[in-house]
Amino acid sequence: MVDNKRLESNSRNVALTASLAALYAAGVIFFAPISFQAIQVRVADALLPLSIIFGPPAVAGLTLGALLGNYYASGFGAIDIVGGTVANLVATTLAWYVGRRRTSGAWLTAIVVEVLAVSGIVGSYLAGLTNTPLWLMFLQLAVGEAIAVGIGGYALLSAVGRVIGWPGPVSAEKPS
pLDDT of residue 30: 95
Q: In sequence order, which residues have a C-beta less than 8 Å from that of residue 16 and are 6 or more positions away?
A: 54, 57, 58, 61
CA 35 to chain centroid? 14
Average pLDDT score, the chain: 90
- Return the higher-pLDDT residue of 168 and 154: 154
Of the chain, the percentage scoring pLDDT greater than 70 comes to 91
Checking if the pLDDT of 91 tops 50, the result is: yes
Checking if the pLDDT of 95 tops 80, the result is: yes
Position 4 confidence tier, pLDDT thresholds 50, 70, 90 = low
- Return the higher-pLDDT residue of 40 and 174: 40
Q: Using one digit for the tens of pLDDT, what is the confidence trace for 42-76?
A: 999 999 999 999 999 999 999 999 999 999 998 88
Q: Is the pTM for the entire model greater than 0.75? A: yes
Assess contact for 51 and 9: CB atoms under 8 A.
Answer: no
pLDDT of residue 174: 44
- Return the higher-pLDDT residue of 123 and 165: 123
Q: How far is CA 34 from CA 44, 111, 141, 162, 167, in A?
A: 11, 21, 12, 30, 34
Task: Say how far apart CA 60 and CA 128 lie, in whole Å.
Answer: 28
pLDDT of residue 75: 86
Fold classification of 10-33+40-164 (topology level): Arp2/3 complex 21 kDa subunit ARPC3 (1.10.1760)
pLDDT of residue 37: 72
